[in-house]
């Protein structure tokens, strides 16, 4: 039992799910090997790009909404899960309904943060939103 389900929902939606969606966008822009898995993607340029989005845009956004410590802990656990070599989660599978995922996972995060801080800079997330036609 929890008192605030919204906080848990936001962590999952805007860290784990947003991370997958950002990863797929970067993968697609790079020409997307259909067999690439999440754990393999994290070991290269895609992983570095996703981690930069998390560090530079997602975690600061959570901090502005008073959830910095929770978000850091959740992000660490999420990336540990992403790196599990036994999951074999292919990016081509995650890419299903990609544009709708951008509209549900990334655009609402940016809107949520900007409701608190209208000038919040999120250039990579904004670029993903624009690429997906979510705004």
Q: Write the CATH number of the domain with boundaries 5-132.
A: 1.10.1040.10
The CA distance from 33 to 45, in Å, is 13
pLDDT of amino acid 127? 97
Q: What is the pTM assigned to this prediction?
A: 0.93
Q: What is the mean pLDDT of each run of 10 residues along the chain (135 residues)?
A: 85 96 96 92 95 98 97 96 88 95 97 98 97 70
The dihedral sign for the CA sequence 6, 8, 13, 18:
positive
Quickly tell me which residue has 């992000």 as its tokens. Answer: 75
**Percentages of the chain per state (helix, strand, coil), in multiples of 5:** 75, 0, 25
The contacts of residue 92 (CB under 8 Å, 6+ apart) are: 32, 34, 35, 36
58-77 pLDDT, tens digit each: 999 999 999 999 999 999 99
């Amino acid at each position: 039992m929890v008192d605030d389900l919204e906080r848990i929902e936001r962590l999952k939606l805007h860290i784990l799910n947003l991370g997958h969606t950002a990863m797929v966008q970067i993968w697609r822009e790079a020409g997307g090997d259909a067999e690439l898995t999440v754990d393999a993607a994290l070991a290269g340029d895609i992983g570095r790009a996703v981690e930069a989005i998390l560090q530079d845009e997602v975690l600061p956004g959570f901090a502005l909404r008073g959830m910095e410590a929770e978000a850091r802990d959740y992000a660490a656990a999420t990336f540990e899960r992403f790196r599990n070599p036994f999951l074999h989660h292919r990016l081509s599978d995650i890419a299903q309904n990609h544009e709708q995922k951008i509209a549900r996972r990334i655009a609402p995060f940016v809107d949520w943060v900007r409701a608190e801080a209208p000038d919040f800079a999120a250039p990579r997330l904004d670029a993903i939103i624009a690429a997906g036609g979510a705004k």
